[in-house]
Amino acid sequence: MLQRRDRALRELTSDEARARAEQHVSRLVAELELERDLSRTILHCDMDMFYAAVELQRRPELAGACFAVGHGVLLTASYEARQFGVRSAMAEFVARAICPNLIVVPAHMDVYKRSSEAVMAVLAKYDAQLYQRSLDEAYLDITSYCAEHGHAHPRDVAAQLRADVLAATGLTVSVGIAPNRLLAKIASDRCKPNGLWYVAPTRQDALAFMHDLSVRKVPGIGQVMERMLQAMSIHTCHDLWERRIELSLCIDSYRMLLASALGIGDAHVTLPARTARRSVGRELTFAPTSDPTHLHAKLRATCEQLERDLATLEYRGRTVSLVGKHDTFERFTRARACPQGVSSFDDLYGVVHALLEQERASFPVPLCLRLIGVRVSSLIDLQVARNGVLAQWLRMPAAAREAASLEPADAASSPTRSSSTSLPLVKVPTSASTSTLPPTPCIPAIVRCPVCGCKVNLRGQPRHARINEHIDACLQQGQAQQQPLSPVQPSPQPRPRPRPRARQPSRRRRPSPASMTLDAYFGRT
């Protein structure tokens, strides 16, 4: 990065080149200022040491003690333990080394979820459309609430909210108030624990708030980015602004950095749109063990949780991975492909159980694990499949929909398709055409698929399961973007490239000097 910066700076030797760079950054600053929205009032509510606070309610004798919640890896630590350097996501043996008197309490996730639901119920009274980021964190937009209650000051509303949470749950919450989510998040972090910080909705207040802020406190700047910035002598947001020209030359994400230095962020609290996920997984941490019965029980529990997650998120996966961590904290991953996609407990457990047994058989000593996880990747989005077919069907003219549903066809004349997509489809006919059909549940023996246009023979096939399979197969093959009522012809196979011919040695051999005559030798020279 520094080499890229130095090379770019050498190219800015002329006044004209530097002026172009400054003009580019000035245009970007002007664009960012147009995005600044000071009309909203955003709250970021962050519970104080949430997991530890809930455990204090269960075990009051822990008050004032150095304790942490978790097992193997810590979820959180009390403020007394944090003074010794104990932090979230820290390995338990490291925490005990730096804090010998540390008390480690096992986690009770079901209790934490109930406490979180009680907290969110209180917050929903101020913004029914709140965005809950985690069990102990949420964003609220109280602009409408303030207007409906006589233009109440945001400070007063936040103070009342904190009192309501304390009365309902006995837990404390830190609240940051600002005109956008970025400033509100940083404000709640600065006022911990059990505090309130208000950033007035003006440009000057936003700039002053960010001026001396360490770059590490900016959401989105991690340890790697922090080191890169420190190498350029950038430690605060004010340094980001002062060195904005250099940043534009050597860091691709300089737009985000510049927006952070200006205190510009998203001013809308909305649920994030469903984005393409790479994987869905679950992990369980436990005391190190090599007992196969115990490992299999943990594996079954993990698969059961993952099955529920996949059903809620509406995904299937084509690759199933077993994740493990040895008692030495070394991780390993073993994967197996499942081309049809899996999501049920039986399918998941069958794959990872075989992978675990293979790992145990190949390990030279008894396999001792402290963590087991199951992950599925290469996901099939069932929501997209369902919505895509519905949209495709609704875009078709009424006559085409009726014809696609009812047109009989000869199974022998159906277009040839690959085995991965030749799955039968049952389409429920429209109400206008039911009079020509036998009574339910009888359906035409042969129908036309509204996605790929193929005529499909339905004789002797299960109904509902085949619908889903055919829809998924068609969409995964990308047929929904092509002509829906035209038979899909198989794509031509690429012609094989001819193999290069091996170089033949030359048949004309040069005679060796020993076999040459004197006349031939002196004649050549």
Residues with a known catalytic role? 137
Q: Classify residue 511 by its DSSP letter.
A: P
Enclosing H/E stretch for 128: none
Structural contact between residues 284 and 298, judged by C-beta atoms closer than 8 angstroms: yes
165 contacts 171 by C-beta, under 8 angstroms: yes
| Helices and strands, counts by H and E, the chain | 20, 14
Amino acid occupying residue 435: S
**Terminal Cα distance for the chain, rounded:** 61
Give the residue ranges of DSSP H helices in 83-129: 92-98, 109-123
Largest Cα span, the chain: 120
Please give the Cα distance from 88 to 82 (Å, whole number). Answer: 9
Angstrom distance (rounded) from CA 88 to CA 69: 9
Measured in residues, the chain has a length of: 525
Secondary structure (DSSP) of 442-509: ---SEEE-TTT--EEE-TT--SHHHHHHHHHHHHHTTGGGS-TTSPPPPPPPPPPPPPPPPPPPPS-P
Q: Tell me which amino acid residue 84 is.
A: F
CA dihedral over 282, 287, 290, 295, signed as positive or negative: negative
Report the distance separating Cα 504 and Cα 495, nearest Å. Answer: 26
How do strand 196-198 and strand 73-77 relate by DSSP bridges?
A: unpaired
Contacts of 450 (CB under 8 A, 6+ apart): 389, 392, 393, 396, 401, 404, 405, 427, 484, 485
